[in-house]
Amino acid sequence: MIGEENRGYLRFRQDDLEIITTTREAGTLLYRAGQAGVDHAATGGAAVDDTVVDENYRRLGETLGIPRERMVRVVLDHGCAIFEADRSAGGEGVSSDRQNLGGFDALVTGERNLYLGITTADCFPVILADRQRGLVGLAHCGWRGIALRLEALLFRKMLSLGAQPRDIRAVYGPGICPDCYVQNDPLLKRVFRDDLGCPSAVIPRRDGCYGIDLKEASRKNLLEAGFPGEILETGICNACDPRFFSVRREGAGTGRMLTLAALRGPGGSGAPRSAR
């Protein structure tokens, strides 16, 4: 359930956990101008003036009441590296002159009120939170990340930091549904059916193509890693919903949404709905 919808973002809350996902009204939140470390591969090489993105971040921070110094965003690599963030990383990735966190696709922190961030435009932002121990993690789960079992690696990383399996809650933010993520390349069929052992994620279609259920495969990864907790979801397909950017719908040069996740004080109503 959406706790708050405003111009440019959706905000979800449950207890201490707060999740924010921007919409296209906020503009693109990915720097693409040509500095070293910016993830051009994820954007199809499309150029956007960095001053425009800087302004988008400035306006977003003002609207949310969250200073950029309390946000940290990684520059994605479609791999499985996890960045452990503390307050010293605040401001990284959210201004044009601080694009230093390249090569990571997940973050974790034990700092309350530090907002972890990733950009997406079809991939799922997967949030894991242990509010009892003040730990929150955020993973970028497209097909590559799921094939590398990134969400399971983040779960195990949180356990190594003191989280307890029974106290971790998982939330799936907006991402692409299998009706929109249609493929005819046999590669992904092999990855999900054979490598991941998740045939239920491969959905045949009458036209000979197949849909891929990324969320189904990702949940299976978590459960196989020993995750026993509650799995929640926002229930939003960004490719179906014109409020959001989608590479599948619009092409690689489209914009990117930002998802932020943090543990803070009690959040009131508006919890995501349970997926189990």
Q: Kind of pairing, strands 168-172 and 231-233? A: parallel
- List the structure tokens of 35: 């500095």
Full-model pTM:
0.91
State the angle between helix axes of 150-160 and 214-224 in degrees (0 to 180), rounded to the nearest 10: 30
In the β-sheet with 9-14, what is the strand arrangement from edge to edge? 4-6, 9-14, 17-22, 257-263, 115-120, 71-73
Please tell me the predicted confidence (pLDDT) of residue 204.
95
Please tell me the predicted confidence (pLDDT) of residue 267.
35
Return the H-helix or E-strand segment holding 264. Answer: none
> Do 180 and 113 contact (CB within 8 A), yes or no?
no
Please tell me the predicted confidence (pLDDT) of residue 276.
40
Which fold does the domain 4-176+228-265 belong to in CATH? CNF1/YfiH-like putative cysteine hydrolases (3.60.140)
| pLDDT tens track, the chain, 276 positions | 457 888 999 999 999 999 999 999 999 999 973 333 444 444 444 557 899 999 999 999 999 999 999 999 999 999 999 999 999 999 999 999 999 999 999 999 999 999 999 999 999 999 999 999 999 999 999 999 999 999 999 999 999 999 999 999 999 999 999 999 999 989 999 999 999 999 999 999 989 899 999 999 999 999 999 999 889 999 999 999 999 999 999 998 899 999 999 998 643 334 444 444
Label each residue of 197-252 as H, E or C.
Answer: CCHHHEEECCCCCEEECHHHHHHHHHHHCCCCCCEEECCCECCCCCCCCCHHHHCC
Q: Report which of 241, 76, 209 is spatially closest to residue 150, judged by C-alpha positions.
A: 76
> Do 152 and 225 contact (CB within 8 A), yes or no?
yes
Cα atoms found within 13 Å of the Cα of residue 91, Cβ hemisphere only: 6
| Backbone dihedral region for residue 256 (phi beyond 0: left; psi -120 to 50: alpha; all else: beta) | beta
- Look up residue 216 and give its amino acid: E
